[in-house]
Each structure stands twice: as structure tokens, then as C-alpha cells.
Amino acid sequence: MAVRHFLTLLDLSPAELDQLIDRAIDLKKSWRSGEVRDSLKNRVLAMIFEKSSTRTRVSFEAGMTQLGGAALFLSPRDTQLGRGEPIEDSSRVISSMADAVMIRTFEHEKVERFASVSSAPVINALTDEFHPCQLLADMQAFREARGRIQGATVTWIGDGNNMCASYINAARQFDFNLRIACPEGYEPDTALVDANRDRVSVLRDPAEAVRGAHLLVTDVWASMGQEEEQKARAAAFTPYQVNPQLMDLADKDAVFMHCLPAHRGEEISEDMLEHPGSVVWNEAENRLHAQKALLEFLILGA
């Protein structure tokens, strides 16, 4: 049986993604009830971090422990990856010793090269192009708050970055309409938008994009590695701040999400995380449970 990887949301079918979200919700209830599980007993997840992280490391490491397995933290500074060993060579060795490999890095090409020769499932825990694990947590949070997202209108506000690209894939896989509100020069990948024109539109006016939407989501204006662009980005994105006034234009039951860390006073107002429509903290916790469901799916084929 061929090894399954999770490099983008498109690596799973819509039916598999639906089942995975259901499983994540079950695992969350189970964990909160105090049930002890060992579905991944004696299994090992190798975690390669080229970018720093809080939620990604804690959620994957805690998730493996909660399922009876173990996780290894590997940084380029402490491995041969940082000394120029070809990615493919590292992949062959690490995947021969671990049951799955999680990678958080810069170029998406790196996870593709690693996966191309890996004998174990490879999980994209963030690249400059896609962040599919966060979308699993987001889709779980919406389902918990408002039910299935199929047919809903989602508005992405801000940079056309890796999160925005993942929302475009999510619109296709989970069957919702996506409006993207971004300033000129910060649009998502044109080819990706064009391939999903039947459900994705790009607008300039955030008020127009938000009107009647069921979910509003945003991210920081300058991601990791873009710190030197902070001043220019702040000037371009200031009209795109998400605040209660903008939320008032959305559907009355709309929810707000942010993948964190958030910069209060920049992409969101000081009070947005505490807004009645905010499900940000639930969304953050769901990284743990959605990834546990993903690990079971990839390692056990369940």
C-alpha cells in the first residue's frame, strides 16, 4: 500500500477530510472526559523544525503522548540537515526509523522532495506556500460552532499568504465560497485563484467582502521572514483591520478566527479576540485534536 502524505489539503479526498474532522471532535471529547488512549503506542513522530513555533510543537508533541506514542524534536542545528546533507538522504534515514515525519520549513519544495523518497507519511506543518494543519483545526472549530461549512461564505482579510492559499484549497475541498479582501500587490497566487474561480473571488473593499459572511479570518500583516517589510505592510494593510465594526457587517451568527500569534492593534483591534463571535481559543486547541486524528489516519490508515 502506497504511503499517504499530507502536504496540502488536496492530498485527502473531501470525504476523508470530513471523516477526519469527525474523528478530531470525538478525540477532543474523549480527551476532555479523561479517557486514556494508546492507539499509537510505541509509534514515533520525527518533528523537523526550520521555523520556530509554539502551537505546532506543543500540539504535535502532546498529541503523540496522548495517543501513547512519542515525538522527537529535530532542528537543523542539531542534525545533518543543517550541515548540507541532501534532503533526500535525510529523508531515507529518518523515515526508516520513525512512523511519521512532520516538517515546518520555508520552501514548499523541501517537503515535496522529502516526501518523494520517504517510506513514512510526511506532514506539512507549515511552508511558505501552505499551512494545511491549521485548516483542519479551523474547519473543526467552525463545525463545532455552527455545523458543516458546506455552502457558507468565508471572508479572508489581509495578505494572500500561505494561510490564504490553504483557505482556497479548503473552499474546494469543503465546498464553501471564499471572498479574499487584500490590497493591490498582496494577492494570493494567481494560478491557484484561477483554478478555483467558481468559488473564489478577490476584492479590494473589506466591507464589501465581509457583508453577510459566516466566517471572518485573518493573519498577521508580516509573517516570519518578512519583518523588514513591516512598515510598508502596515501602511498597505491598515484599512484591512478586523474589528467589531467590520464584524457587524457579517452574518449575525458569524464567527471570527485567527491562526495566532495575533498582533492586537494591527490586523485585529485590541478587543477582537474577546469578541462574542471569536472562536480563536477553541481554534487553537483544535490543532491538538485535528492533528491526532491526522496522525492516526496516516500511521494506522484509520
Active site (catalytic) residues: 104, 131, 134, 219, 259, 287
| Closest among 111, 102, 154 to 129, alpha carbons compared | 111
Residue 257 CA to residue 217 CA, distance in Å, equals 5
CA-based torsion, 104, 181, 288, 226: positive or negative:
positive
| Closest among 225, 212, 220 to 242, alpha carbons compared | 220
Angle of helix 14-32 relative to helix 280-300, nearest 10 degrees, comes to 110
Strands laid side by side in the 255-258 sheet:
200-203, 177-181, 153-157, 215-218, 255-258
| Closest among 55, 164, 52 to 104, alpha carbons compared | 52
